[in-house]
């Protein structure tokens, strides 16, 4: 049996969402213990021209749901970007986790050769499914996961590689 698109996408996305949920929980506890207004963490960014932590989490979840939907040939669900608290971000991660868990391997069968067209800079760009997953979707997904992690680490949150990888 060959390695499938589902195997390449779903477990990796679910593991990273689990890790993100875990670091959000640690961020909430950290802010409470240190009496830091959580909005400080939510609005923090590593550089003036980068998105803040909240937007990084929104983008992680956007790439998770859009990757699975596009590979399955489905419409990408739209979520408003209205989260203002860590609890709301955790709820968004949980919602997207449940959405990704709803896919079955058969939903992605044949997606490696399916055309996936996405808007980039207002222009449509078309990939074959495998190229979309490996060279666009997962790199962007992990970029925003890593940036969210790095923002919290920079703010002093005691997290490490095990937290990022969601390993015990």
pLDDT in tens, 116-146: 999 989 999 999 999 999 999 999 999 999 9
* Rounded Cα gap, residues 99 and 93, in angstroms: 10
User: Looking at the chain, how many residues does it have?
Assistant: 168
* Rounded Cα gap, residues 61 and 59, in angstroms: 5
- % pLDDT > 90, the chain: 95
The predicted-structure confidence for 3-19, as pLDDT tens digits, reads as follows 999 999 999 999 999 99
Domain count, the chain: 1
pLDDT for 167: 65
Supply the range of the domain harboring residue 125. Answer: 5-165
The answer to whether 72 and 37 have CB atoms below 8 angstroms apart is no
The predicted-structure confidence for 63-106, as pLDDT tens digits, reads as follows 999 999 999 999 999 999 999 999 999 999 999 999 999 999 99
pTM of the model: 0.95
The pLDDT of residue 36 is above 60: yes
Q: Which two tokens stand for residue 17?
A: 């969402």
Beta bridge partners of 118: 125
Alpha helices (H) along the chain:
5-33, 38-42, 53-71, 86-101, 129-132, 138-154, 161-165
CATH number at 62 reads: 1.20.120.450
């Amino acid at each position: 049996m060959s390695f499938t698109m589902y195997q390449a996408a779903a477990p990796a996305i679910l593991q990273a969402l689990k890790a993100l949920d875990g670091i959000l929980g640690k961020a909430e506890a950290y802010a409470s213990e240190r009496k830091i207004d959580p909005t400080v963490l939510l609005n923090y960014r590593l550089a003036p021209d980068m998105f803040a932590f909240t937007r990084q989490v929104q983008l992680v979840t956007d790439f998770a749901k859009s990757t699975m939907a596009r590979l399955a040939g489905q419409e990408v669900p739209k979520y408003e970007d209205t989260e203002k608290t860590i609890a709301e971000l955790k709820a968004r991660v949980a919602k997207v986790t449940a959405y990704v868990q709803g896919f079955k391997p058969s939903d992605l069968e044949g997606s490696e050769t399916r055309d996936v067209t996405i808007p980039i800079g207002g222009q449509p760009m078309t990939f074959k499914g495998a190229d979309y997953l490996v060279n666009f979707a997962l790199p962007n997904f992990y970029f925003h996961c890593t940036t969210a992690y790095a923002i919290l680490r920079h703010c002093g949150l005691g997290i490490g590689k095990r937290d990022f990888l969601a390993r015990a």
